Structure 1
């Protein structure tokens, strides 16, 4: 670290590559410091997002109407083109303010921040900076300094947000959090052409199957079984209209064990056999 007016600090100014900017998130700069008495930054604004973790000491932070005194284990975020200022408070020579920061940008940046509870209106979190997170920041600083670890850096950025993400398991009152429901629906949307079952989706959600059924029904207005069948039948209609695959090939492509199982499911859903549906749509002969 080098000595500056009111701090000892180390900085890394990173130049993200074109490859890194193909992703949803990329690093811009990083640094860490030990503040001296009188340390203060701003009021000023920056062009990107920047997470600042309080490693020790106390800092008073303000951005717009948001104001907070933060301590070890807390963190705050600077938002682009938004005035902010922060300063060391309750300074103690044996326990000075120490910060580690990571500036980043990308089309997913604001959404990822929102997912962990950081918004422009409330741009800080308390007690979320654990040892694993600070170690990750230290590794990121080293990789950015080396300048030749783009894949590791990209992976580590998402890991950072995973560490900050709150648990979204149902609480003891039995209330339904949307996170696991959305994940289970996304799981079915992503894999409905594979031979997955509703039990697989319940395991993905991490809740008991009966609770999964009830919560899913309330949220989506249909059972998870119906939801999964609907995804497959909508795709089946599309493939039957296109006409490039035989009905048997469509059945196997949609995760059914054989033509009989698919035809039965299609008939129950649409009230017509898949071969008859295709024949009616295009006026041609049925196939198998």
Structure 2
């Protein structure tokens, strides 16, 4: 990220998330972009995130799909998303952000339902109450006292309930009548793969998840999208691997295990086939390129 005018970040990522009642906080903060601010594509781990535009305009890019946003818009990101925020140079973005998850079974089920029904094109919504609550949370995090944990627990739980209620309604209202049942099924399959890329052990589990014969799913996916299920699944795993290598926190063998490749050799072979270099060489080249970009 470069040349931001104002940046406030309460960061509890990398396994350090804070529990506030039923809600786990991963990150919250505020960013005022300059015309030259670059956020950069990053991988969402095991958390959801709100991007709440408080001023300006720009775009949110998720899994290579770009959607314009402006003041008042709220964008909802899923676990496993490839995510970027791009600011307008003329009217730079100002936005708050809130990344969270939960271990509560009922809330997890509600959020899973939202993920299964909401398409990329319908993830933008508006709710001044949510914008106000997240702004209050940021202020509370900036000056914590003996009451803050209870106050924040209430704020975060209310925020998540508003998100679930808004997006359930939004998904129903936005569902297009001209989308075929096969297209809806393929979207649900792609969304499942995107959001379960770490936990899936193979494509065969899709049959039980969607209550269809796997052969039928495979044929329908290919005839509707022009791609095979295996190609889509493999491509998503390798894109995730690429970003994990860019982060530089995990070794190639750890990434291969995390993404359920059969072996380090199988991972390296697939990665080189897609990106033209081995994982180790890619990681080294990215690190050297990043070091050259650092100001002296």
- TM-score normalised to the size of structure 2? 0.45
* Rg (Cα) greater in structure: 1
- Structure whose residues are more often helix by fraction: 2
